[in-house]
């Protein structure tokens, strides 16, 4: 999809202020409300805007700690990868799971209440994942930068 500067401005604003009214968005990007609405609809229809979500404050949601888990598998066959991915999708508080190139096969990002909560998730879910050869967990001390915005 070809994006012009107006599309980019719309996306920039929407990524930071997803609940902005169409009238306010139109004013910010210097369009009429109807033209702005058509552009947003086109961006949604093209799936460039994949959806809208409320971003929760981890602390206020009772999950102040972030844990990254690197996982190495016993093998790389489709059966091993598929079984692992099906099982990992059932882990509560899992925010992200990435198939990686490099030392680890997968990188997981979880949010937890504390070390006891992570130990529970580890016992009940992580330790039971199929095909795992090695696992290493790291607690984030603090987020230095956090954004969901993609530069377009």
With a pLDDT cut of 70, the percent of the chain lying above it is 100
55 in a structural domain: no
Which stretches within the chain are classed as H helix?
5-16, 22-28, 33-45, 78-88, 115-124
- The secondary structure of residue 18, as a DSSP letter, is T
Average pLDDT over residues 27-51: 98
Q: Is the confidence at residue 1, as pLDDT, over 90?
A: no
Torsion of CA 29, 31, 32, 34, to 10 degrees: -80
Per-residue model confidence (pLDDT) at position 83: 98
Q: How many domains does the chain have?
A: 2
* CATH (domain of 90): 3.30.70.920
39 and 74 housed in the same domain = no
* CATH (domain of 20): 1.10.10.10
With a pLDDT cut of 90, the percent of the chain lying above it is 99
Average pLDDT over residues 57-64: 97
Question: Domain span at residue 26?
Answer: 5-45
Per-residue model confidence (pLDDT) at position 19: 96
User: Contact at 8 Å (CB) between 134 and 97?
Assistant: no
Per-residue model confidence (pLDDT) at position 70: 98
- The secondary structure of residue 77, as a DSSP letter, is -
- For 63-105, what is each residue's pLDDT tens digit? 999 999 999 999 999 999 999 999 999 999 999 999 999 999 9
What is the C-alpha to C-alpha distance for residues 19 and 24, in angstroms, rounded to an integer?
A: 10
pTM of the model: 0.90
Per-residue model confidence (pLDDT) at position 120: 98
35 and 69 housed in the same domain = no
Q: Which pair of tokens denotes residue 95?
A: 């925010």
- Closest to 12 (Cα-Cα) out of 151, 136, 108: 151
152 in a structural domain: no
Per-residue model confidence (pLDDT) at position 91: 97
Mean per-residue pLDDT over the chain, rounded: 97
């Amino acid at each position: 999809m070809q994006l012009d500067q107006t599309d980019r401005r719309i996306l920039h604003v929407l990524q930071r202020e997803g609940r902005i009214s169409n009238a306010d968005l139109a004013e910010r990007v210097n369009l009429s409300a109807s033209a702005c609405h058509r552009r947003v609809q086109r961006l949604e229809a093209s799936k460039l805007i994949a959806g809208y979500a409320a971003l929760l404050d981890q602390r206020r949601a009772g999950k102040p700690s972030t844990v990254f888990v690197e996982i190495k598998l016993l093998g790389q066959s489709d059966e091993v990868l598929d079984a692992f991915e099906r099982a990992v999708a059932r882990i509560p508080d899992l925010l992200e799971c990435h198939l990686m190139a490099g030392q680890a096969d997968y990188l997981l990002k979880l949010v937890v209440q504390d070390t006891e909560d992570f130990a529970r998730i580890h016992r009940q879910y992580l330790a039971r994942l199929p095909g795992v050869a090695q696992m290493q967990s790291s607690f984030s001390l603090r987020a230095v930068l956090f954004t969901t915005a993609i530069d377009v």
